[in-house]
Structure formats: structure tokens, C-alpha cells
Amino acid sequence: MLRFIVRRLLLLVPILLGLSILVFGWIRLLPGSPAQALLGERATPQLIAQIRHQYKLDQPLYDQYWGYLQTVGHLDFGVSISSRRTVTYEFAHRFPATVELALSAMFLAVIVGIPLGFLAAKRYGSLFDHLSLVGSLIGISIPIFFLGLVLKWIFAVKLGWLPSIGREDVLSNAKHPTNFYILDAIITGNGGALWDSIKHLLLPAIALGSIPLAVVARITRAAVLDVQNEDYVRTARAKGLPPMIVDSRHVLRNALLPVSTIIGLQTGLLLSGAVLTETVFAWPGIGTWLKDAIFNRDYPVLQGGILFVAIVFVLVNLVVDIWYAIINPRIRVS
């Protein structure tokens, strides 16, 4: 297992190298310059030339790339052109917000999606099954941006139950040693801050979790339908095992194998930044950060940010593979 993990981690090197070439080239193919993005109508040809020179954009591409690799080699990801803060600082500052949102969304997707899929399969062909299918279809097809606005309009604007923006009440004085607000509230023993953070998480997590929820429910349903007709399930029933034992130990456990893979992949996707959800809920995560960087032609942020995200994505996938091996004894990593 250890050898497998090390090998997978080593694979990160060529992946990141390839990715860095792609991102580097892609950004430079985009028209326009950071100067125009920074100063808008106030940009002048002289200023554009000056910025190009300052960021060495007037040098041959291979020279620029080599210079970039050297700085990254020293773990220096540069300074954001628009905010003038280091890319590492901004990522470290924003990533916890994205992690908190992504994990909450996945939590909702799992605790609702798996039971929903399981029950739909158990009641195959019933009205409940059809309704869950229609619900899943809606969950997958409804635009997150729209869902977010509607949720806010109902629960924040009309009912006034939940806040519409941010991670905590704007008047909160809670301390944030780790920037994971829920964790911070637990560490500092601040019950009020804990509830405040959960309140702020609810709507964005529901909006962001809608697609994974639908996917998890559909996959669970399909997997349970497959598994419950297997010989070993029939044998278990024939042995006279109680239905609860059959369902939990034989059906659900085996059905969860493909589901866990999907959960891992979806989590990786969510961790790479939920641009729309973060924008609608003014959630200070990496999704809006990278989106703004594209509009601002903020090369250092794009180059550094995408590399960070790629590392996270690969690591999450590695965890999924390991987890898969653990929960499925039939699979052994070779």
C-alpha cells in the first residue's frame, strides 16, 4: 500500500508539469493585458507596454516559462497583479472557505442522496421511485446560480430565516485561528459562532449539493437494484437473516462501492471551486478568486491557483482509491 501511495504521489510531478505548460500557454493565448484589466478606460499604450515589461510578458515564451518554473521550484508562486498579495497567502486564506462549503454540500448530498436512492430501489416502480427519479433529474438540470437565487429569495428575503451572504454575521467578533469557521467555533468553544457558521452554510450547501445529491441518489438506486438480485443476497435471505441485516451488511455495503467512487470524484470537483455558488452567496472561496483572476488576466493567480487546485484534485483521488481498497476487500492494490 505504501509503495502504491508513493508511486501515486510521484505521478504528481509529470501531471503538474504538463498542467503548468497547459495553463501557462492557455493564459497567454487570451487576448488583452493585465494593464487593461487593472485600469480599464485609464490604461494607455505606454502603461500596457510598461506592465508587459514588468511581468516579462515581452520576452519569448520559453524564457517566461523557464523563469516561471524556477520561481515555482523555490515555492514562490508570485504576487497577484490585482490584489498585490502573494498567491500562497490568498490560496491559504480562501481555501478553507471552499473546503467547508464543499464538504457541507457533500455531507448533505450523502445523507439525503443515499437513503433516497436506497428507498427508490427498494420500492422499484412505485410512485416514490418515479418521484425520486424526477427529483434527481431536476437536481441535475437546474442551474445552481438560479437555484441559489431562488433559495435566497425564499429563505432570506421573504422568510428572513437564513442569511443571504458570507460565512458569518457581519457583526461577529468570533476568532478564526484556522479559517475553518466551524472548526474554529468548536476549538474556541463558541456555541454562538458555531450556529452562526452553520446558518450561513445551509443555503449555499443546499445549492451546491443539489447536483451531487441527484448523482448520488441515482447511482445508489442503480447499485442497490444490481446488488439485491445477487446470489449472495438471495442466500442471505434464504438463511433467514433479518431484512435489516441483509440490507445493511449485504446490499448497502456492496452497493456503496460505486457510490463511494462518485462521492470522491464529486468532492474533488467541488473542492476545485464552486464559482457560481460562491458568487451568489458572496462566499470568499477559491472559485470566485479564480474567476476574477481570469477577468483580470491575473497570470500569477491563475498559474498558481490552478496548480494548487490540481494538487488537491489528485490527492483527493488518491484518497478515494485508498478508501476503495479499504472498503472492498476483493480489491487489493498491486
Partner 1 sequence: MRVRKSLLVVPFVLVATGLLLATGAGAGSQANTTLVFGTAADPVVLDGPLVSDGESLRPIDQIFEGLVSLKPGTTKLVPSLALSWKASKNGLAWTFALRNGVKFQDGTTFNAAAVCFNFNRWYNFPGPLQSDAVSYYWNTVFGGFAHPAAGNPGPDKSLYKGCKANGTGKVTISLTRRSSSFIGALALTNFGIASPTALKKYQADAGTVDSNGVFHPTGTFGTQHPIGTGPYMLKSWSVGDKLVLVANPHYWGKKPKIGTIIFKPISDNAARLQALQTGEIQGYDLVDPADIGTVKSSSKTKILNRPAFNVGYVGINQKFKPFDNPLVRQALAYALDRNSVVKGFYAGRGQVANQFLPPLVNGFATKGVPSYSYNPAKAKQLLQQAGVSLPLAVDFWYPTNVSRPYMPNPQQNAEAFGASLNNSGFKVTFHSAPWRPDYLAAVQGGKAELYLLGWTGDFGDPANFLNVHFGQQSDMFGFNNPALFNLLQKADSETNLETRTALYQKASILVMTYLPMVPYVHSQPALAFQRNVNGYIPSPVSLEPFSIVHFGT
From the list 11-19, 52-60, 257-265, 319-327, the region that binds partner 1 by CB under 8 A is 52-60
Contacting partner 1 (CB under 8 A), which of 130, 153, 187, 326? 153
- Spatial neighbors of 195 by CB under 8 A, at least 6 apart, are none
8 A C-beta contact, residue 172 and residue 251: no
**Alpha-carbon dihedral angle through residues 73, 79, 80, 81, given to the nearest 10 degrees:** -120
Site for partner 1 in 282-311 (CB under 8 A): 282, 284, 288, 292, 295, 297, 300
Residue 133 in the binding site for partner 1 (CB under 8 A): no
CB of 3 to partner 1, least distance (A): 37
Q: How far apart are CA 173 and CA 231, in angstroms?
A: 59
Calculate the alpha carbon distances from 24 to 78, 130, 258 in Å: 14, 47, 35
Site string for partner 1, 15-34 (x = CB under 8 A): ----------------xxxx
Contacting partner 1 (CB under 8 A), which of 5, 12, 16, 48? 48
Q: How far apart are CA 244 and CA 122, in angstroms?
A: 12
Site for partner 1 in 259-278 (CB under 8 A): none
User: How would DSSP label each residue in 99-140?
Assistant: HHHHHHHHHHHHHHHHHHHHHHHHTTTSHHHHHHHHHHHHHH
Residue 90 in the binding site for partner 1 (CB under 8 A): yes
The secondary structure of residue 283, as a DSSP letter, is: -
Question: Cβ closer to partner 1: 146 or 331?
Answer: 146
Question: Cβ closer to partner 1: 2 or 244?
Answer: 244
Beta bridge partners of 79: 86
Site for partner 1 in 96-125 (CB under 8 A): 97, 111-112, 114-116, 118-119, 122
Contacting partner 1 (CB under 8 A), which of 18, 25, 67, 192? 67
Residue 125's region, left for phi above 0, alpha for psi from -120 to 50, else beta, is left
Contacting partner 1 (CB under 8 A), which of 65, 71, 72, 319? 71
Question: Cβ closer to partner 1: 130 or 249?
Answer: 249
Query: What angle (nearest 5°) sits at the alpha carbon of residue 53, between those of residues 50 and 59?
Result: 150
8 A C-beta contact, residue 97 and residue 285: yes
In angstroms, the first-to-last Cα distance of the chain is 8
CB of 10 to partner 1, least distance (A): 27
Question: Cβ closer to partner 1: 8 or 93?
Answer: 93
Q: How many residues bind partner 1 (CB under 8 A)?
A: 85
Long-range pairs, 36-41, Cβ under 8 A, ≥24: 36/297, 37/81, 37/82, 37/295, 37/296, 37/297, 37/298, 38/81, 38/82, 38/296
CB of 142 to partner 1, least distance (A): 17
CB of 111 to partner 1, least distance (A): 5
Question: Cβ closer to partner 1: 11 or 67?
Answer: 67
Site for partner 1 in 190-249 (CB under 8 A): 195, 198-199, 202, 243-244, 247-248
Q: How far apart are CA 69 and CA 60, in angstroms?
A: 14
CB of 49 to partner 1, least distance (A): 9
Question: Cβ closer to partner 1: 94 or 218?
Answer: 94
Length of the chain: 334
Residue 37 in the binding site for partner 1 (CB under 8 A): yes
CB of 279 to partner 1, least distance (A): 5
